[in-house]
Amino acid sequence: DFLPLKCDACGEVFCKDHIRYDDHKCSSAYKKNVQVPVCPLCNTPIPVQKGEIPDVVVGAHIDKDCKYNPAQQKQKIFTNKCLKPGCKRKEMMKVVCEQCGGNFCIKHRHPLDHECKGSSQPISKA
């Protein structure tokens, strides 16, 4: 259908095939074409004032205000090593045994699975 559509930038009326700014070469498109550049390092939106060049503003942000930490990208998530002898698994979160206080992987988290020596109470398999 060819309903008349009003351009929100210049106010002229167009059909659906010419409503886009580029399709009718809108002279007022700059008013609506507001883009906020994002820092490629820290993914923070960088405010750009009218008349400023976005590349220059982002470059200044990188030089002064950027909070990018390259060491943070290489941080290991799985740092909690299982204390069971012979097990090399690591978990993201600590899995602490209530009886001995040791840190174990999911497989060895139960006292029977890591030969727990923390409590003298008998442990049942149930």
Spans of all domains in the chain: 1-33, 34-73, 75-118
Q: Tell me: the pLDDT tens digits for 24-80?
A: 888 887 777 677 899 988 888 998 887 788 889 899 998 888 887 665 556 667 788
The yes or no reply on domain 75-118 and CATH 4.10.1110.10 is: yes
Q: Mind spelling out the 3-state secondary structure of the chain?
A: CCCCEECCCCCCEECCCCCCCCCCCCCCHHHHCCCCCECCCCCCECCCCCCCCHHHHHHHHHHHCCCCCHHHHCCCCCCEECCCCCCCCEECCCCECCCCCCECCCCCCCHHHHCCCCCCCCCCCC
| pLDDT band, residue 121 (cuts 50/70/90) | low
* Model confidence, pTM: 0.38
